[in-house]
């Protein structure tokens, strides 16, 4: 009698886990699809032939003592942006990435624009859209914070929390859906 109750309880737990697994998957299908596609793209960004992330160019010197000052290089980068992009809102500098070993300094601007300058001469080596930043913002949900003009990243925080908990639920229920029937067969 005890084995029959145990089997019945195991079957009940399996049904509950199957239901949780099914409803979570159905509810969050679109989000999982977006995360998986954007994650795949991010994994391949350095191997996308420049479509997602421009290859890092090579400057004339790797010696900082021969580089132009950061102020001069920043002014040159902003001048390129003013000449290349008609919308003034995209001229806001987001970050600077110095690649000493390549002799290059990268400037990333709002609107997903990026450019690379030779650290020694200030010559423009690369200019274009940084599609990888857009994909990253889609992947982590921060694009919704930007779209709704919400500071503090609250949508991103909520989104990543929900998706992380859902993945944890999928892992637990998926494992049990695989292991539970094996366990039931062994108890008979």
pLDDT in tens, 68-101: 999 999 999 999 999 988 767 668 899 999 999 9
Q: What is the pLDDT of residue 186?
A: 79
Please say whether the beta carbons of 52 and 135 come within 8 A: yes
Whether 91 and 82 have beta carbons less than 8 Å apart is answered as yes
Among 18-27, 135-144, 159-168, the least confident range = 18-27
Sign of torsion over alpha carbons 161, 162, 166, 172? positive
Q: What percent of the chain has pLDDT over 70?
A: 96
At 1, the pLDDT band (50, 70, 90 cuts) reads low
Least confident of 24-28, 95-99, 100-104, 115-119: 24-28
Mean residue pLDDT of the chain comes to 91
| pLDDT band with cut points at 50, 70 and 90 for residue 157 | very high
pTM of the model: 0.79
| pLDDT value for 90 | 67
């Amino acid at each position: 009698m005890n084995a029959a109750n145990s089997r019945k309880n195991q079957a009940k737990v399996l049904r509950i886990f199957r239901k949780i697994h099914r409803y979570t998957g159905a509810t969050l299908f679109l989000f999982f699809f977006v995360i998986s596609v954007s994650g795949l793209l991010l994994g391949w960004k350095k191997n996308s032939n420049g479509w997602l992330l421009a290859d890092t160019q090579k400057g004339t010197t790797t010696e900082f003592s021969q580089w132009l000052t950061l102020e001069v290089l920043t002014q040159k980068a902003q001048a390129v942006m003013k000449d290349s992009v008609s919308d003034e809102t995209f001229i806001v500098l987001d970050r600077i990435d110095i690649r000493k070993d390549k002799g290059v300094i990268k400037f990333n601007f709002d609107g997903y624009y990026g450019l690379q300058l030779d650290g020694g001469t200030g010559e423009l080596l690369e200019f274009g859209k940084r599609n990888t930043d857009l994909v990253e913002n889609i992947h982590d949900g921060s694009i919704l914070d930007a779209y709704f003009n919400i500071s503090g990243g609250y949508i991103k925080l909520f989104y990543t929390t929900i998706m992380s908990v859902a993945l944890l639920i999928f892992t637990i229920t998926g494992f049990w859906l695989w292991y539970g029937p094996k366990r039931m067969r062994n108890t008979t």
